[in-house]
Structures are given as C-alpha cells and as structure tokens.
Homo-oligomer: A and B are copies of this chain.
Amino acid sequence: MRTAEEYMEKLFKMRKNVYYDGELIGRDDPRLRPGINVICETFNYAADPQYEELLTATSHLTGKKVNRFTHIHQSTDDLLKKQEMTRFMCQRVGGCVQRCMGIDALNALSVVTKDMDNALGTSYHERFLNYLRYFQENDLVGNCAQTDVKGDRSLRPHQQEDPDLYLRVVEKREDGIVVCGAKAHNTIAPYADEIIVVPTRMMTEKDADWAVAFAVPADADGVTQIIRISNPRPRKKLDAPIAQYGSADSLTVFDHVFVPWERVFMCGEWQFAGQLALLFATYHRHSYTGCKPAVTDIIMGASALVAEYNGVPKAPHVRDALVELITVAELVYGAGIAAGVKAKKAASGTYIPEVVYTNVARYYAGINVYHEHEILAELAGGLPATLPPEGDFLNDDTKGYLEKYIMRKAGISAENQHRCFRMISDLLVSAHAGVKQVAGVHGGGSPIMEKIAIYGQYDIEEKKKLAKYLAGIKE
C-alpha cells in the first residue's frame, strides 16, 4: 500500500491537463491541496494500526492486504465495513471522502464484466481482473466518470444533434478504441490517478456506439479537465481541520482519446449499459448511506455545540432539533445496514447491496439536506451570516470590541466562541457550503433518479395483490 507522500509524488508528475478559471495549472497548485489532503487521509488512516481493520481488506485476487478503497466486496461484512469506513472517514475530513467513487465503479464492473461474459461469451472479466490487480497493487485513486452532459434531455444518445453530447466510440482499431465526448461533475478527477468511464443510462441497439466502459490515466492524451475548486475559506490564523479539506471536480473532455483493449470493459454491448449504470449507482448510493450520516453528524455536533455555547443546551427546541438530525442520520445508516444484510452475491462472487434499501436511504438523505442546514441555521441564529472576517479579530483597533461582544456562556472563551461560529459560518454561508448542499441533493443520483429506481425495483404488484386479497377481489 502506498503512503500519502508516494501518492502525491506520482500525482505531481502527471501531464498538465487541468484548467482552472482560464489557467492551465499543475496538480501541485496550492488551490488543489485541500482536496488532495482528503485523499491523503485515506492513506494515513490505512497505515495507522488503530484503523487498519476498518481501512484495509484482504484482496480476493492476491490474498494481500489492500486499502479497502480498492477492494471488491466479498461478503455482507465487507459492505458493512465499507459503510462504516465511509462514515468514519467523512467525519474526519469534515465532508466527502471522495475516494469511494473509484471502488464503486470497480465493484460494478466486477459484476457486469462477468455477467456479460456469461451471456455473450465475451472475455471482459479476465481483462477487468488484470486491471484490478494493477489498481490494487499500486493502491490507486480512481475517479468514476459517469454523467454525460446529455444535451437535449428528451432525446436518446443517437438522436442528439451533436453525437458527442454522450461519450462514444468514434473508431475501433486493432489495438484499441478512440472515444469522444465529455463527462460532467467528476469529483476527485483533478487529483485521481485513473479515470474509470461507465455509461450514464440504459441504451437501445441504436445507441451501441455509446455503450462503452473503460479506464484511462487521468492525464491521458486527449483528456482535458476543466475544473471547479470548492475549498473552505482559508484561515489567517485560526486554523482548524474544517478549513483544511476541500474538493474539486471537473468537466472531463475526451477529444479523440485512445484506449488500448486491455483497458476497455464494454464496447457496444448496449444490453448491459443500463445494468452497469444502475450498478455503479447502487454501490455509490450505498456509499452515501455512510457519508451522508457523517455530514449529519457534523451538523448535529455543531448544533449541539452552539446550543451549549449559547447557554441553552437543554431547551426543548434544541432537543427536538437534535432528534430530527439523529433520525435522519440513523434511518439512512440503518437502511444502509439493511442493504448490506440483504445483499446478493453476483455470479462474479461480488456482493451487491439490496437495491431498495440502498435507494430509500439515499433518497431520504437527499431530501433532507437543505432541512438539516436549516436546523443548524435556526439554532445558530444570525451570527454565522454576519460574523466579521477574521482580519477584524486580529486588528488591534477592533479585536478588543469583538472579544468583548462575542462573550456568551460563562466559562467559554472568546476564542472558542469565535471558533464555533467561524466553523458554523463555513458550514452555512460559504460557497463551499452551497456546493455541499447541491452535492448532497444530486450526488450519486438526484432524488428523482432514486424515485425511479425505487419504483422500478419494488414489487408493487405484490402489494396490489395484498389489497385485492383484503378487499375480496378475485380475478
């Protein structure tokens, strides 16, 4: 397994293909560091004996110890551990741990490559296992590029005016394929080793050219990342973990990118595009049953803390607010556990979390994101919005005033009051907070997508039969 240093060393050597606000930047640009800091912790905690059981696993391929973020789930226990690891790591980095993306894509590929081989006589699975071995042994960080830009939402891929609005194969060569298109919302991509591409939806036969899955290095020729960075507001002096971790995402453009066959995992098998799309979504939504409770934990902790600092820790409305937050966190986490317990084993041996529990959990998390922020806003009052910038706490003319007038509950220092409200200000009224809200709604699939998944997978007919039985309707 790699160290954080080794990860960064490799990263900083990559070809410069990342644009930010009109500038071509290196991966060692300090504005990318908060996102990189997050990934580093996935190496650091895996190397810490205290967290080894949670953060590592035994490869089913090699029998060697691997980072759990590169592991293919072999049991219900693996799914529960992954969920637990995700919650823990997101707590430590104050938000999205990001590295789940790659492993969720690999798990989905492990299932679908096998199923395709079984159904169509292809040999994707072995090819996939070779790639997996490389991925595990080098302890790589993967982005999953799924969401096409989609153009006119009422048209299928092959019907779009510009065929590139969904990523597609433009040429098949003896040694590989050439692809064109763009994938959006690619969190982690600017500091990932690998980009793993999967389809965004089910396809028809006419969409066969768009049914493609593969992996490329994140700096492969023809790949351009146009990114947005979402960092917490920098601190001048009042440093804190919450201010050290950020994220970045890219619109990843594929302009005639060549992919050798050994890295191609689907190419034209349109019948399996939907399965792969949904399966990545299922694994990724199951990741959300770990990360979203962690986000709620942070909001909950901040809510409890500010209530204490305001001197009203036992007020009934505080209790009600905390119980609302606990309910969201634990219903989501609980349904995630149920998804693990009711998991199914695929032909490849990979465990797949039960799809309805996974989706109701992610759905419920998604429709509560804004409300959770509202709860914190209600408890914290107006100060997070009007807290003067840190400079005023350092300037001798104003410092005294601020320290005098921020005092609240006896025994809590001005600095700690300041720290508490500075963090809540970060959580509520920063651009970073806004990104987290939107990502909390749409990441891993918007609520409407989970509705469709739930409705499509649930056995409603059985419930209609129940109604008919009770009503005495025979047919």
Report A's interface with B, CB cutoff 8 A: 19-24, 91, 94, 147, 149-154, 161-162, 164-165, 182, 184-185, 224, 226-228, 230, 233, 238-242, 249, 251, 253, 255, 297-298, 300-302, 304-305, 308, 310-312, 316-317, 319-320, 322-323, 326-327, 330-331, 333-335, 337-339, 341-342, 356-357, 360-361, 363-364, 367, 369-371, 373-374, 377-378, 381-392, 394-395, 397-398, 401-402, 404-410, 416, 419-420, 422-423, 428-431, 433-435, 437-439, 441-443, 446-448, 451, 454-455, 458, 460, 463-473
Contacts and interface: CB of A to CB of B under 8 A. Distances in A.
A448 B465 CA distance: 27
B331 A382 contact: no
A264 B429 CA distance: 37
Contacts of A311: 152-154
A334 B454 CA distance: 14
Given A311-B153, A326-B360, A472-B238, A224 B398 contact: yes
Nearest to A296: B463
Given A429-B437, A434-B434, 7 more contacts: A226-B398, A227-B388, A300-B463, A301-B466, A322-B455, A373-B437, A429-B431
B467 A301 contact: yes
A298 B392 contact: no
A227 B228 CA distance: 29
A423 to B, nearest CB: 4
Nearest to A327: B360
Contact of A337 (B302, B341, B404, B446): B341
Contacts of A298: 466-467, 470
A82 B367 CA distance: 31
Contacts of A241: 469-470, 472
Contact of A151 (B407, B435, B470): B407
Question: Top 3 nearest A-B pairs by Cβ distance?
Answer: A22-B391, A240-B472, A301-B467
